[in-house]
Amino acid sequence: MNEKTKQFYNKILDELEYHKDFEHQLAESEQKYRSLTDNLSIGVYRNTPGNKGKFIEVNPALLKIFGYQDKEAFLKINVSDLYVNPNGRINVINKLEKQGFLKGEELKLKKKDGTIITCSISASTVKNEQGEITYYDGIIEDITERKNIEQALKANEVRFRKLFDSAHDAFMTIHPPKWNFTSGNPAMLKLFGIESINDYLKLHPVDLSPKKQPDGRLSSAKAKECIETALERGSYFFEWTHKRLNGEAFPATVLLTKVQIQDEIFLQATVRDISEQKKGEELREKLLETAQQLTKSLDLDKVLNQLSEQARSLLNSKGISIYMLEEDGETMKAIYSHYPPYDKEVMKTKININNSLTGQVIKNKKGQIFNDADSNPASFHIPGTPDRDDDHIIISPFIIEKNVIGTMNLYRREPQYTDDDLTIVNTFATYASTAIKNARTYNNLLEEMSVREKAEAKVRLSEEKYRTLTQNLNVGIYRVTPGSKGEFIEVNQALLDMFGYKNKEELNDLNPSNFYQDPSKRITYNKKLKDQGFIKNEEMIYVKSNGRPFIGSDTAIAVKDKNGEAIYYDGIIDDITERVALRNKLVENEEKYRSLVSNSPDIIMRVDQEGVINYINYTFAGEKPSSLIGKSIYELMPSEFHDKAKRAIRMVFRTGDRFSYEHIGVSAKEEVKWYRNNVGPIESQGEIVGATIIARDITEEKQIDVMKTEFISSVSHELRTPLAIIQESVAQVLDGLHGDLTDTQTDVLGPCIGDIKRLTRIINNLLDISKIEGQNVSITREMVDIVSLARNVLHSFELKAQYKDLELIFTTKIKKAELYIDHDRIIQVFMNLIGNSIKFTEKGHIELSIDKFENEIKCTVTDTGIGIPHKEQATVFDRFHQVGKAINTPDKGSGLGLSISKGIIDLHNGTIGVESELNKGSKFFFTLPIYSEDEILIDNIEKGITVATRKHIKLSLLIIRLNSYEAIKTQNGKELAKETTHKILEAFQEVIAPGEFSFIKGNNEVVLFSDITKRNIVSIVNTIEDIVNKFVSEFSAKITIDISYGYSVYPNDGDNAKELLQSAYKTLLSNNN
Amino acid sequence: MAKKILVVDDEPQIVRLLSQRLRASGFDTYGANDGYQCLKVTKEVKPDLILLDIKMPAGGGIQAFNNLRSSIYTQNIPIIFITAYPGPEVEKQVKELGADGFFAKPFNSAELLEKIEALISE
């Protein structure tokens, strides 16, 4: 027995002597706290051995547990009479004597009035000097109520967490009057194991529930109630046991939401399977219970041993050690270690708090996670243990009365510890702290004190324990008298903090109804407690001392006297304001998105980077959503669309922008349809984790488009003649052909010419667009450096920008990017985009940037202009779309520029898009795929072949090689040499016609694919040679042009691009020789 | 002697306006409203140049052109097509036929005059 213990013991003895009523006071205080924390109350006893057994000493709590008022009467009964099972006592004694102790033994015992309660018993044997058993000492706890409240609290927390984890919820709708299922998502079919939506629509919610719910009520009756509640409140969240089609029952949460669309009222339900969480919850609960019971045991070694093992195995850790702080307050020594085979090393090494992670925790008085602890400079390596074993460490302090006395340290290699793990370790550490404290005091006292004193000490201990537990809980605990003018008898610090008062007296100065936002709630509270004896998780709005409201969840029971009259209400209030806010937000968001998804006629998919579907809302391509999941979206469209689709998805993942493409697909009814797929990113914590694809059926739109295109084409032709008449008439008058004009007449007619020109431009654009959209136009691809092209176009706007005082910025990280594109058409796109930006920007800048990706070039025009309203952004590329029709700008456009741009980019297999914020600016961007020379060549020849096959015509592939290229390059430079090659191309277009496929391959070859006949080839080549010679003679007298050519004819010389090229090159070589 | 130009268009206003313009520049002008009339007038007046609309009733411009080019008496008369249906396809066709010029409606009369002068002076 050490000095400290002696002092402590003497102090108690002194107190006993000098305060005769100490025992009484202690009992009273103990009683107060004990009953206050009714659900945690503990009975302490000593009884005699033997089959029947008598109690020698019991505490008031024990009497209360068994419903006795009179201690003397209780001492007279046989211990065995308390057992429900007549042989119970014998079994328990056998077990106790065999192992010397009982820990957390759960037993069914009888109260005085016959009520059966569940108790947890921990006991040990007390022996005399001869080693005979003289008594059994033990602790009994009524765990019936505690379990309930604990569960209630936990359920609350878990419930909100579950809402949070929303991911794969099952959605469904049910309609009155029978409340049948009317729709459901794939997750719901999966959840219930239903094959098809049709099977499902035949079901009623009751078919998917067991006959009875866990509380014993009929599912049908309870379901009806839930539906009514939801209809009344607008929404209702509850737990429900469901049944899969195979009969398997599972716990779930259900959120019923009332939906009103026009006159129709129905319910939407969100069901989440919570069986996994339930399992986890049960496991944790069990561990928690063991831990709680363990802490009541007074054998410290055993307690720590078992607590540590529980913590270690629960967290899958390799090692655990318990450190206690030495008296010097600086060094720590391990008192327990499980870290085979290094326990010895751990146990013998002392750690200093100034150079260890454990020390950090002790100083911070807060549990901490140290993942990758080896790389933490503050970590202390225990000599003799492996370097890399304890990669991740979690340390939680033992705190007793605000002082840290030691720590619990857990180690593991993988995976990293999480905040959840920390919560668990903190819980264990709290229990370990209590156990250490109890055991320390108890062990010391046990040796010294008389039986009576020991019992008293135990009471004191438990009293202290509960007081500290009560004060440390961060839920508000109170005891209040019933009635409208209730008085708080006891409250804990957390409750005072919650309401913002200093002490109990301040609370009592006010009427309890003042604590409610709606004072009448106090009446409801009183009534409920009076009628049903308890309230559970009642959500109320309370008011703090500063007038601010908060939402609390109140659980309370009525404590009754022997006449059944309520004397107090004991309760717990938890501040759940944040949780409710979170929940409301979640519910709101959830509803918003759910109705968006369920009311959308579009097919909504979620895909990964490879285009694999992991969610789809509707049947598509004649297949059920369930069988589409896991498939690639490319399987849903013909191969000709794969390139565009892949590029769009790839760009979404790379840039986070939205892209779209159109494709032909098969609908749910197996009809061939056109779809426009809008692809957008799904972001999570700054990373793009997936893409949403919204596929819209645009078949009708397409058909109408064809009609529109034809209509526009014919109208614009029809307009040309009257326009020519007007223009010529006005021009003649203005030219003075019909006599001199007065100045006024000139003023009136003059501007007409400008307007006629504009009208002409509109008609030209219209024709252009109708051709582009009708795919009646081909692009002439040639190698172009898009960087210099873009820079030049931007420069050409310098004057216009200066006029409006706008800054033009050109940004790119690349010096050069050579693409095969239609030079003039791409300029047209840049002109349109930059022109628009300047038109709609009053101050700031226009930025043109070019980015290069692996297979794509992205050009972006950003301005600081008026922006585009969100709802208009989708239609901005439509014909005649002019943003904000009312905009008063002198520089009126045709409303076709963007539409034409889109057509041009489409022809290049690129994508075009816009992002804009009103009054902030717009960002227009387009991408162009980077094709290799061969890709272009082969693709275009194949296209030509398709046309030729359809029209049953022959096509000639002609290759003209400029043999003088090198000579010109040496004498006149590369530029002129290149120009000469280009002249061949131009000459061909001049001789034949523009629009035929012609292409410069390498530096000195021109490839042509045209319906020229074999007979014409020689004369064409001769003409071209003449033209080029003339061109060259303008800058060089020395060079005579030398060209050679080769050709092949489709289908005579081959039926594919490769064969035709091979064949043409063969004749080229033979012509050369 | 003033050069004779035949203007062929199914729209009389075009014929009238073009004729006015050409007369102001010192040409003699004749008009026709379809392919058949075109051939008839050509035979009668032997114009030095024909402005020919493509889409017309009673034998379109292309047919009239082919007829004119197939006769030794008319095959050397320069012909400029004027059409309300411009586009690469038509342009290519016109080029292949061997027409001397091609103008889209609405035309710029100054450019048209320039082209006519160039062709006639050759």
Average pLDDT over residues B56-63: 81
Residues of B with Cβ-Cβ distance to A732 under 8 angstroms: 17, 20-21, 24, 109
Distance, CA of A71 to CA of A58 (rounded, Å): 8
Q: Quick one: pLDDT at residue B111?
A: 92
Strand (E) or helix (H) holding B68: helix B61-70
* Closest chain A residue to B110, measured at CA: A731
Residue A358 has pLDDT above 70, yes or no: yes
* Closest chain A residue to B96, measured at CA: A992
Residue B52 has pLDDT above 90, yes or no: yes
Residue A981 has pLDDT above 60, yes or no: yes
Strand order of the sheet with strand A659-666? Answer: A613-616, A603-607, A687-697, A672-684, A659-666
Residue A451's pLDDT band (boundaries 50, 70, 90)? very low
How many CB atoms sit inside 10 A of residue B114's CB? 11
Average pLDDT over residues A467-495: 72
Alpha-carbon radius of gyration of chain B: 13
- Superfamily of domain A600-701 in CATH is PAS domain (3.30.450.20)
Contacts of A688 (CB under 8 A, 6+ apart): A652, A653, A656, A681, A682
**CATH fold match for the domains A37-142 and A476-582:** yes
Out of B24, B88, B105, the one facing A737 most closely (by C-beta) is B24
CB A941 within 8 A of CB A997: yes
Domain boundaries, chain A: 37-142, 149-278, 298-448, 476-582, 600-701, 782-929, 933-1072
Q: Quick one: pLDDT at residue B20?
A: 93
**For residue B80, is it within any domain?**
yes
| Cβ–Cβ below 8 Å for B88 and A993 | yes
Indicate the CATH number for domain A933-1072. 3.30.70.270
Residue A167 has pLDDT above 50, yes or no: no
- Per-residue model confidence as pLDDT tens digits over A885-906: 434 444 455 667 888 898 889 8
Out of A724, A735, A777, the one facing B105 most closely (by C-beta) is A724
Residues of A with Cβ-Cβ distance to B90 under 8 angstroms: none
Task: Tell whether B89 lies on the interface with A, counting CB pairs under 8 A.
Answer: yes
Place of tokens 């069914």: A108
- Per-residue model confidence as pLDDT tens digits over A942-961: 878 877 777 778 888 888 89
Residue A1032 has pLDDT above 90, yes or no: no
Interface test with B, best of A713, A719, A725 (most B CBs within 10 A): A725
Out of B20, B86, B104, the one facing A737 most closely (by C-beta) is B20
Residue B26's pLDDT band (boundaries 50, 70, 90)? very high
* Closest chain A residue to B9, measured at CA: A721
| Cβ–Cβ below 8 Å for A728 and B18 | yes
Contacts of A18 (CB under 8 A, 6+ apart): none
- Name which of A449-453, A466-470, A817-821, A970-974 the model is least confident about: A449-453
Q: Is A685 left (phi over 0), alpha (psi -120 to 50) or beta?
A: left
Average pLDDT over residues A120-131: 79
According to DSSP, the β-strands at A331-338 and A235-243 are unpaired
Distance, CA of A464 to CA of A430 (rounded, Å): 15
Q: Taking an 8 Å Cβ-Cβ cutoff, which residues of chain A contact chain B?
A: 717-718, 720-721, 723-729, 731-732, 735, 737, 756, 760, 767, 771, 777, 992-996
Residues of A with Cβ-Cβ distance to B87 under 8 angstroms: 767, 771
Phi, psi of A920 (to 5 degrees): -110, -35
Average pLDDT over residues A18-41: 47
**Complex ipTM, two decimals?**
0.91
Residue A292 has pLDDT above 60, yes or no: no
**For residue B122, is it within any domain?**
no
Interface test with A, best of B105, B107, B113 (most A CBs within 10 A): B105
Can you name the CATH fold of A37-142?
Beta-Lactamase (3.30.450)
Alpha-carbon radius of gyration of chain A: 43
Average pLDDT over residues A619-630: 73
Q: Quick one: pLDDT at residue A286?
A: 57
Average pLDDT over residues A136-151: 68
- Per-residue model confidence as pLDDT tens digits over A858-894: 999 999 998 888 878 877 887 665 555 434 444 455 6
Around A655, how many Cα atoms within 13 Å sit in the side-chain half-sphere? 26
Q: Quick one: pLDDT at residue A40?
A: 38
Residues of B with Cβ-Cβ distance to A721 under 8 angstroms: 11, 14, 84, 105
% chain A with pLDDT above 90: 6
Q: Quick one: pLDDT at residue B30?
A: 95
Residues of A with Cβ-Cβ distance to B106 under 8 angstroms: 720, 723-724, 726-728, 756, 760
* Closest chain B residue to A779, measured at CA: B88
> Which of A704, A726, A716, A827 lies closest to A765 in space, CA to CA?
A716
Distance, CA of A1032 to CA of A979 (rounded, Å): 10
Residue A168 has pLDDT above 60, yes or no: no
Best-predicted range by mean pLDDT (A52-56, A168-172, A682-686): A52-56
Mean pLDDT of chain A, nearest integer = 78
Q: Quick one: pLDDT at residue A39?
A: 34
CB A89 within 8 A of CB A53: yes
Task: Tell whether B112 lies on the interface with A, counting CB pairs under 8 A.
Answer: no
Best-predicted range by mean pLDDT (A320-329, A447-456, B42-51, B85-94): B42-51
Task: Tell whether B96 lies on the interface with A, counting CB pairs under 8 A.
Answer: yes
Average pLDDT over residues A243-247: 82
- Helices vs. strands in chain B: H and E counts, helices first: 5, 5
| Cβ–Cβ below 8 Å for A723 and B106 | yes
% chain A with pLDDT above 70: 81
Average pLDDT over residues A285-308: 61
* Closest chain B residue to A764, measured at CA: B86
| Cβ–Cβ below 8 Å for B88 and A756 | no
* Closest chain B residue to A713, measured at CA: B85
| Cβ–Cβ below 8 Å for A771 and B89 | no
Report the number of distinct structural domains present in chain B: 1
> Which of A765, A755, A898 lies closest to A837 in space, CA to CA?
A898
Residue A41's pLDDT band (boundaries 50, 70, 90)? very low
Residue A700 has pLDDT above 70, yes or no: yes
Out of A728, A777, A994, the one facing B17 most closely (by C-beta) is A728
Residue B116 has pLDDT above 90, yes or no: yes
| Cβ–Cβ below 8 Å for B92 and A777 | no
| Cβ–Cβ below 8 Å for B105 and A723 | yes
Mean pLDDT of chain B, nearest integer = 90
Q: Quick one: pLDDT at residue A442?
A: 53
Identify the bridge partners of residue B52 per DSSP, sorted by sequence position. Answer: B8, B81
More confident residue, A827 or A521: A827
Task: Tell whether B17 lies on the interface with A, counting CB pairs under 8 A.
Answer: yes
Q: Is A277 helix (H, G, I), strand (E, B) or coil?
A: helix
> Which of A1060, A1073, A984 lies closest to A1029 in space, CA to CA?
A984
Q: CATH number of the domain that B14 lies in? A: 3.40.50.2300
Best-predicted range by mean pLDDT (A109-123, A621-635, A640-654, A857-871): A857-871
More confident residue, A870 or B76: B76
Indicate the class that CATH gives domain A149-278: alpha beta
How far does the CA of residue A1011 sit from the closest CA of chain B (Å)?
12
As given in the structure block, the two tokens for residue A289 are 């219970």
Q: Quick one: pLDDT at residue A4?
A: 65
Q: Quick one: pLDDT at residue A38?
A: 38
Task: Tell whether B95 lies on the interface with A, counting CB pairs under 8 A.
Answer: yes
As given in the structure block, the two tokens for residue A1070 are 């033979």
**For residue B121, is it within any domain?**
no
Per the structure, the complete domain to which residue B104 belongs is given by: 4-116
Contacts of A883 (CB under 8 A, 6+ apart): A840, A868, A869, A872, A876
As given in the structure block, the two tokens for residue A273 are 């399977």
| Cβ–Cβ below 8 Å for B89 and A995 | yes
| Cβ–Cβ below 8 Å for A718 and B109 | no
> Which of A966, A994, A997 lies closest to A980 in space, CA to CA?
A966
Can you name the CATH fold of A298-448?
Beta-Lactamase (3.30.450)
| Cβ–Cβ below 8 Å for A729 and B17 | yes
Residue A163's pLDDT band (boundaries 50, 70, 90)? very low
Mutual angle of helices A3-18 and A419-448, in 10-degree steps: 70
Contacts of A697 (CB under 8 A, 6+ apart): A601, A602, A667, A673, A674, A675
Average pLDDT over residues A771-782: 71
Residues of A with Cβ-Cβ distance to B95 under 8 angstroms: 992-993
Q: Is domain A782-929 given the CATH code 3.30.565.10 in the classification?
A: yes
Q: Quick one: pLDDT at residue A406?
A: 86
Best-predicted range by mean pLDDT (A86-90, A1025-1029, A1036-1040): A1025-1029
Average pLDDT over residues B83-112: 87
Average pLDDT over residues A549-575: 81
> Which of A753, A783, A764, A900 lies closest to A835 in space, CA to CA?
A900
Residues of B with Cβ-Cβ distance to A718 under 8 angstroms: 84
Residue A344 has pLDDT above 50, yes or no: yes
Q: Quick one: pLDDT at residue B48?
A: 94
Q: Quick one: pLDDT at residue A166?
A: 35
Tell me how long chain B is: 122
- Superfamily of domain A476-582 in CATH is PAS domain (3.30.450.20)
Place of tokens 């645009």: A698
Distance, CA of A941 to CA of A935 (rounded, Å): 10
Residue A457 has pLDDT above 70, yes or no: no
| Cβ–Cβ below 8 Å for B21 and A737 | yes
Residue A1065 has pLDDT above 70, yes or no: yes
